[in-house]
Structure 1
Amino acid sequence: MDEIATSTLLIILGLLLLLSAYFSGSETGMMSINRYRLRHLAQQNHAGAKRVQYLLDRPDRLIGLILIGNNLVNIAASAIATVLCIRWFGDAGIAIATFGLTILVLIFSEVTPKTIAALHPERVAFPSSFILKPLLTIAYPVVVGVNFITNGFMRIIGVNPNNTLGHAALSSEELRTVVNEAQSMIPSSHQDMLLSILDLEKVTVEDVMIPRSEISGIDVQNDFKSIIKQLSQAQYTRLLLYRGEIDDAIGFLHARDIMQIVTKTNSDTDKAELIRAAREIYYIPEGTPLNVQLLKFQHNKERIGLVVDEYGDIQGLVTLEDILEEIVGDFTTSITPAPSDLVKPQDDGSLLVEGNANLRDLNKELNWELPTDGPKTVSGLIIELFGDIPQQPMCMRIEGYALEIIESSESMVKQVRFLPFESRHLEQQNLFD
C-alpha cells in the first residue's frame, strides 16, 4: 500500500464511494418500488420490470448481495482513507480518517443516493437490475452461504424468515386508502363505485331491504277481480303472491306471467292458475353481507329474495338491483322514495324527516353520523333509545343531533324535525331534554 501513489489512492477512494452510493441507492430503489405497478409492467413484458421482479422474488438474497457489496467497498474505502490520512497527518490521521470518511459516506454514499432512489425508485431500480442480476449469479454461493447463516440465527431467536419473503395482499382498508389517494387518476364517479364495492362486506341485506310493511304483493284470498286490477296496475316486474299474510308466501309472479294472466278473460283463468304461475321463493338469512349475497344471487341465478330471521319470519325483500344501487347509486327508474323525498328543508334551517327514512341513506346524503349498528330507520332509532314510542311534542338529542318529535302514532314515529346544522357540533351524547 505504501508503494501506491497518493493520487491513485484518491482515485480508488472516489470509485469506492461511488460503488457504495450505487449499492445504497439500489437497495432503497428496489425496496421502494411499487410492487403492484411492477407486476403490471412485468405482465406488459417490460424488460426492466421483469428483471426487478426476478430479484425481488427472493428479497433475502437480493439484500444479502447488496449488503455484501456495500460492506466490502465501505471497508476498503475506510482502509484507503486511513492510509491517506496517516500520510498527510501522521498518527492523528486515524481519527481524522474515521470522522472524515463518515461524513463523506453519509452525504455522498448514503443520504443523497437513498433520497434520490426513494423519490424515483423505478429510475434507479430498472438500470440497477442490469448489474445486480448477473452479479447475483456470480456471487450466488457467497450470498446463499450468508443467508443460510443469518436465517439459522433468526430461527434461533424465534423469527421465521419465510414469513418475510413474500408481500401480503392489501386489506380492504389499505385498498380504500389506495383508492382515496388516486383521486387524480380515477374519476370521482368511479372512485365512489370502488369504495362502495369495498363497503359491501360491511353492509348486510337488512340495510338495503324493502321492509316487510312496504312489500308490494297480492293476497290470493282477495276478490279475483280485485286481483286482476292489481296485476294490471303493477309497477314492479315481480310481485309477491301470498295467502292472507306475508308470512304465508306462495311465490313471485313475473311480469311476463302477469301479462299473460291479465290478457285473459275471467272465464279463462282463476286463482289456481295464478298460484301455478308463481315461481319458487328464494330465502335470504338476515345478517348476510351484501358481497356474499351478490355472489349467491349470481350462483343461484336469482334476482330477488325474501329476508327471514332465525324463526323463519319474513323481515323484508331484497333484489339484485338493491345491491347494485349500493355500488353505482340509485337508478333513475327506481320508484322507491329517495332520501331527499323524505327530507324537507325548512326556512329556519331545520329539516323535517319522515320516520321511515333509512339511517344509512340519510348519513350518505346529508353527511351525518347517526348510529346504524342497530335500528335501520329514524323511528326505530328513537324508539330504541327512548325505550317506548314517544308522543309529540317531545325533544331529545341523539349522538349530538338535536331533534323534535313532530308526529307519532301508536306504532311508530311518523315525522321528526332535526334542528339546524349547528346542532351537529354539540357534544355527542345520548341525553333526553
Structure 2
Amino acid sequence: MEAIPVSLLFATLGGLIILSGCFSGSETALMSLNRYRMRHLAKQGHRGARIAERLLQRPDRVLGVILLGNNFVNIAASSLATLIALRLYGESAIAVAAGLLTLVILIFAEVAPKTLAAVHPERVAFPASYVLWLLLRLLYPLVWLVNTAANALLSIIRVRVEDVSAAELSQDELRTVVNEAGDMIPRRHRHMLVSILDLEEATVEDIMIPRTEIVGIDLDDPWSETLERLTNSQYTRMPVYRGTVDHVMGFVHVRRIVGDLVRGNFTPEDLQARLKEPFFIPEGTGLHTQLLKFQRQRERVGLVVDEYGEILGLAALDDILEEIVGEFTTDPGTLTRSINRQDDGTYLVEGSATVRELNRVLGWELETSGPKTLNGLILERLETIPEAGTSLLIDGYPVTIVQTQGNRVKTAEIQPERPPSVQRPG
C-alpha cells in the first residue's frame, strides 16, 4: 500500500463518494416515482420505466442491492480515508479524517443527491434502473441471503413482503388527486370527474322529484284538461294514472303525440294505446347503479318505490346526468328546475329542491345523509311547520319562508351572502 501514490488514493476516495451519491440518489428517486405515470410510460414502451416497474414489484430486493452497494462503498471510503490520514499525518489525524469524511459524505453523497432525486425522480430513476437491474442479477445470491434474513425478522411482527400489492387509490384519494391536478385538467372537467365519484355515495332519493311534485295525466280528469296539459307540458315523458299516481298505468312520450294533438284527432283511446309500461326503481338504488340500468334497459325515467310498493317520487336520466355535467337550462335566471336567481341577487328556491342541488348550485357543504330537500332541512331546523315570513339560518345563509302549502314549505328566499358574524374563517 505504501507504493500507491497519495494522489491515486484521493482519486479513488472521490470515486467512492460519487458512487455513494449515486446509490443514495437512485434509492430516493425510485421511491419518489409517480407509480401511475411510471406505468403509463411503461405501457408506452419506455424501457427505463419498464425496468423501474419490474424492480419496484419487489422493493425489498432493489433496496437490498442499493444498500449493499452503498454500505460497501461507504466502508471502503472510510478505510481509505483512514489510510490517507496515516500516510500524511499519522495516527493523530485519523479522528480529523473521520470527521471530514462524515461531512463530505453527508453533503455530497446524501443530502445533495437525494434532494436532486426527489425533485427530478424520473431523470435519476430511469437511467439508474439499468445499472441496478444488472447489479441485482450479478449479486442476486448475496441479495437473496440478506433479504431472507431481513424478511424473517419482519415476519416476527407479521409483515410479509409478498403481500405488497400495486398501490391503489381509494375513492377519497382519487378525488384529492383530481382536485389537485391544477392546469393539467380543466376546472370544469375536474368538477365532472369528482361528480362521477360522488355518484357512488348518492341514491335516487337524492335527485328524485318527490311524489307531491310529480306532474302527470289523471285519466279521471276531463279530457279537455288532459289535452291542455299535454299541449303545454314542459316534460317529454309524463306518467299516466287513474285517480292517484299509485295507480300508474304507464308513461306517454309527449313529443310522439304532438302531431295528433295539433291535428285535433287525439282521443282517450289513443292515449292509452300509446302508453309505455312504467319502469320502477327500488328506493336506495345508487345513482351509479341506476345510470347503468337506464343505459342497459334504454329507459330515461322511472318511479321510485319503497319496499311496500308505494311510490316515493320520480327519477329521470337527465337528473343523474346533471349531477355530473351541471344543469342543462339555457335561461341564465333559472339555475335549476327549482332554483331561480332574482333581479336583486337573491335566490327563490322551491321547497322540493334537493340538498345536492343546493350544494352544487349555491356552493354549500350540507350533509347529504340527512334530509333530502330544502323543505326537509327547514322542518328539521325549526321542528315545526313554519309560516310565511319566518326566517332562519342554513349553513350560515339567511333563509326566509315565502310560501307554504299545507304541511310543507313551497318556496323560500335565500340570501347569496352570509352576514359578517357567520362568515367562515379563512
TM-score (ref. length: structure 2): 0.89
Structure 2 residue aligned with 1:300: 297
* 1:400–1:424 Cα contact (<8 Å) kept: no
Structure 2: stretches of 5+ with no match in the other structure: none
Distance 1:274 1:340, change over 3 A: closer
Distance 2:181 2:166 in 1: 21
1:100-153, CA deviations, whole angstroms, 9 ceiling, x for partnerless residues? 211111100011011101111111112112212222111122212221221111
C-alpha deviation, 1:344, in angstroms: 4.6
Name which of 307, 312, 328 aligns with 2:309.
312
How many Å apart are 1:258 and its aligned residue? 3.4
Residues 401, 424 of structure 1: 8 Å contact kept: no
Which whole-Å CA distance do the structure 1 matches of 2:275 and 2:423 have between them? 54
Q: Compared with structure 1, are the counterparts of its residues 44 and 355 closer, same or farther at alpha carbon in structure 2 (3 Å cutoff)? A: same
Kept in 1, the 8 Å contact 2:329–2:335? The answer is no
- The residue that corresponds to 1:364 in the other structure is 360
The equivalent of 2:156 in structure 1 is 156
Residues 266-306 of structure 1: CA distance to partner in whole angstroms, max 9, x if unpaired? 6x9654x6445422222222222212221222333332211
SS at match of 1:279: coil
Distance 2:412 2:60 in 1: 63
Looking at structure 1, the residues matched to 107 and 371 of structure 2 have their Cα atoms a distance apart, in angstroms, of: 61
Classify the secondary structure of the residue corresponding to 1:184.
Answer: helix
CA RMSD of aligned residues (A): 2.9
Measure, in 2, the Cα distance between the counterparts of 1:315 and 1:223: 26
Alignment of 1:5-154 (within 5 A): 5-154=5-154
**Residue 189 of structure 1: how far off its partner (Å):** 1.9
> What is the SS of the residue equivalent to 1:317?
strand
- Out of 387, 392, 399, the position equivalent to 1:396 is 392
CA distance in 1, matches of 2:296, 2:43: 31
Q: Deviations over 1:373-426 (max 9, x none)?
A: 322332221112222201244333344334443433432223434457242742
Partner of 2:323: 326
Contact 2:335–2:361 (Cα < 8 Å) also in 1: no
Shift of 1:218: 1.5
* Corresponding residue number in structure 2 for 1:375: 371
Question: Are residues 1:209 and 2:208 paired?
Answer: yes
1:308–1:315 Cα contact (<8 Å) kept: yes
Structure-2 separation of matches of 1:88 and 1:224: 114
SS in 2 for 1:408: strand
Structure 1 Cα separation of the partners of residues 296 and 314 of structure 2:
19
Q: Distance in 1 between matches of 2:259 and 2:291?
A: 30
Greater Cα offset, 408-417 or 177-186: 408-417
Amino acid at match of 1:235: Q
1:254 shift after superposition? 2.9
The equivalent residue for 1:283 is 280
**TM-score normalised to structure 1 length:** 0.88
Q: 1:370 and 1:4 mapped to 2: Cα distance? A: 77
Shift of 1:7: 1.8
Relative to structure 1, the CA distance from residue 425 to residue 351 in structure 2 (aligned partners, 3 Å threshold; closer, same or farther) is farther
Instruction: Give the counterpart letter for 2:144 in structure 1.
Output: V
Cα offset, 1:337, TM superposition? 5.5
Q: Share of identical aligned residues, percent?
A: 50
Deviation at 1:15, TM superposition (A): 0.8
Contact 2:333 2:340 in 1 (8 A): no
Distance 2:378 2:155 in 1: 57
Write the letter of the residue equivalent to 1:360: R
One-letter amino acid of the counterpart of residue 410, structure 1: G
Query: CA 1:97–1:340 in 2, change beyond 3 Å: closer, same or farther?
Result: farther
Deviation of 1:32 after TM superposition, in Å, equals: 1.0
The amino acid of 1:55's aligned partner reads L
